Structure 1
Amino acid sequence: MKQGTYTIQGALLGAALLVMPVGVAPAFSDDTLDARLDRARSASYALPAGDAILRAQNAFTRWLKAPDRLEAARRLTRTGFDVFGLEAVAVSRPQSVVLIEKPQARDGRGLFATRIEGGMPLLIQAPHQYFDRRTGTLARRLFMESTAVAAAWNTVHRYHGDDTDLVHIADSYLHALSRAFADVYPDGRILQLHGFSRDKRDTPAGRSAQAILSDGSRSPPEALARLAGCLADRLDIQARLYPRDVRELGATTNTLAADVRRRGFNGFVHLELDASLRKRLIRDAAARAALLQCVAKFDS
């Protein structure tokens, strides 16, 4: 991402997100994105067939490329995207459109949001929102306060079953969206949020870290080192880079990181946050703005 090209909104939008069904005139209900995320949680996970994931990837690509992503979501729904069990809803403040599972078809596919038009080439992900506490809320606030093109959340607990950790199984709708994003925005950035406990770390470097950055490889790009330095300076924290500074939590088993890297995408950021930093980022809009500015500042 080019320095100075994108703008970051510096303050949390105070009003609630209001949701309306796609295809209906703007008569907003009292529903919120938080409520949508709460209701989106699934008690089961069904591994989609490979062809369904490929078709979803193609649909996500068309969705991201469209100048009007709300109309694109409507077209996708009309032309069969609903066979994947997803439906589109328009969201106000920020103006965006989300694809969510239909109530009768909740199989842990996830919840996906895009800006209706334009946006910074950034995809924010919270793949463990029910286990890594506050990461789901943090992803929502970062999406609201930035101009990020897209965001995604898991909708089934990572430990619900052997195949429900979306970044450690071979394929998922989250992989499909990430591939689509990498194809549409080859110079963009995927910011994947995680949480860790310093008390459970095995090394002094891990126990003293407040943030650990990696891209899933043992030779991360120089831009990731600059990002770690920016976070350390702007947030006044101990930000460690794997494997230069710390040999833990390097995302080396993260299948999504490996998947996009094989496609030649070098903008994947695996960001581990300790509990105190997650709490700070939730309550402090200025800290969130600093994080976003660091992410937006550097080329991949």
Structure 2
Amino acid sequence: MSLGLIFAWGSFDHGGGGPAKREAQRVGLPPPDEVPAQLEVAAPAEILSLLLTRNAMPAQPVLLYGSPDRAQAVAASLLRGLPTSNLVHELNALGLALLPRNGGRTLLREPGKEGVGLGSYLLVPGGAPVLLQAPHSDTDLDTGRILDFLLVEGNFASGAWNSVPRAFEADGGRVNADLTRAPVSFFNSFGLAFAEVHPEGLVVQIHGHAREKRRSAEGRSASVIVSSGTHEPSAQARAVANCLAATMPEETVRLFPEEVCELGATINTNGRALRAAGFSGFVHLELSRELRWKLVAEAGLRARLAACLRPL
């Protein structure tokens, strides 16, 4: 057996096994503990997803400690590979712990068992200049798993996940911790730092959509909706859409707004902040429930997706 780690789908599911199984039954696909029962892959020294969604939620999320500019500067130093010993104190002040991992990887996460909303981050030395984001990994089922796989198999430079759900009940009220709507968050500062260090790179944000909730026939038929968060597609978004359409001919790929007029991420605060900083490499993907199941189960399909998520 290799030194890779065993992913046991039956033991964990983003958002809980109940919702995942009900969704699987609805679309006629196998539940997560059957897709497959076990799969061995080369990965860091822990299942990343297990670190992301906590059992206890804060009454009020804290999406950033300190100033966003300072958070961006510290994250940029980390992404540039500066000695981590010089950054530990500042990261701790930001509420984050730095954990070295196998193969030179670095995991950045909140210490303890209770998440507050800062998020979790993986840095992979020598990876392609792409930041993969799953800001709704608990509710957009399997998007966190897909990122886990892509980071391991696709050799991308960095990954980012939410650490608490985008919305939850606490103290008798509904709490909003959506990282794609908050104008200030460490998640946002990390993305801006990545764009600063890799100005020609990509920030690819992966979401999940339900076809039956779409307003248009184009949306209901879409396996993937690609956008740049703008009403004129960027060259990067167009290139990703064209590549996916060519390498996944069995799937329906649509580019916003030319081929579909919904789920274009035009109010996504992460994309807006990146564009305001002069970065044009933000690409937003909406994956159907059926395609997410396939990506979890099929390494070949994941490889085709990964091949399209590269800078121009």
Among 117, 120, 127, which residue is 1:111 paired with?
Answer: 120
* Kept after mapping to 1: 8 A contact 2:52/2:164: no
Amino acid at match of 2:285: L
* Kept after mapping to 2: 8 A contact 1:163/1:169: no
* Kept after mapping to 2: 8 A contact 1:198/1:209: yes
Amino acid at match of 2:90: G
* TM-score, normalised by the number of residues in structure 1: 0.83
SS at match of 2:87: helix
Structure 1 position 105, deviation (Å): 6.4
Structure 1 position 142, deviation (Å): 0.6
Q: Distance in 2 between matches of 1:103 and 1:181?
A: 26
Give the length in aligned residue pairs: 267
Among 100, 103, 115, which residue is 2:109 paired with?
Answer: 100
Q: Where does 1:151-190 land on structure 2 (aligned, <5 Å)?
A: 151-160=159-168, 161-190=174-203
Among 269, 282, 288, which residue is 2:296 paired with?
Answer: 282
Q: Where does 1:130-279 land on structure 2 (aligned, <5 Å)?
A: 130-160=138-168, 161-236=174-249, 237-279=251-293
Structure 1 position 148, deviation (Å): 1.0
* Kept after mapping to 1: 8 A contact 2:200/2:281: yes
Structure 1 position 264, deviation (Å): 1.0
* TM-score, normalised by the number of residues in structure 2: 0.80
Instruction: Render the CA deviation track for 1:17-64: whole Å, top value 9, x for unaligned.
Output: 32xxxxxxxxxxxx53343235x5651243356743322211000001
* Kept after mapping to 1: 8 A contact 2:63/2:117: no
Distance 1:107 1:210, change over 3 A: same
Amino acid at match of 2:287: L
Distance 1:206 1:48, change over 3 A: closer
Instruction: Render the CA deviation track for 1:118-139: whole Å, top value 9, x for unaligned.
Output: 2210000000011100001111
Structure 1 position 109, deviation (Å): 0.6
Amino acid at match of 2:67: A
Q: Distance in 2 between matches of 1:214 and 1:42?
A: 34
Q: Where does 1:45-60 land on structure 2 (aligned, <5 Å)?
A: 45-48=60-63, 51-60=66-75
Q: Distance in 2 between matches of 1:118 and 1:16?
A: 16
Query: Which residue of structure 1 aligns with residue 128 of structure 2?
Result: 120
Taking only aligned residues, the RMSD between alpha carbons, in angstroms, comes to: 2.0
Q: Distance in 2 between matches of 1:90 and 1:41?
A: 24
Q: Distance in 1 between matches of 2:237 and 2:109?
A: 32
Q: Distance in 2 between matches of 1:231 and 1:257?
A: 21
Higher RCO (Cα < 8 Å, 6 or more apart): 1
Q: Distance in 2 between matches of 1:276 and 1:49?
A: 34
Q: Distance in 2 between matches of 1:159 and 1:205?
A: 28
Q: Distance in 2 between matches of 1:224 and 1:290?
A: 16
* Kept after mapping to 2: 8 A contact 1:227/1:295: yes
Instruction: Render the CA deviation track for 1:211-235: whole Å, top value 9, x for unaligned.
Output: 0001111011233223212111211
Q: Distance in 2 between matches of 1:104 and 1:14?
A: 26
Query: Which residue of structure 1 aligns with residue 80 of structure 2?
Result: 65
Structure 1 position 89, deviation (Å): 1.1
Query: Identity, % of aligned pairs?
Result: 34
Structure 1 position 253, deviation (Å): 1.0
Structure 1 gap segments, 5+ residues each: 1-11, 19-30
Query: Which residue of structure 2 aligns with residue 28 of structure 1?
Result: none
Distance 1:178 1:198, change over 3 A: same
Amino acid at match of 2:180: V
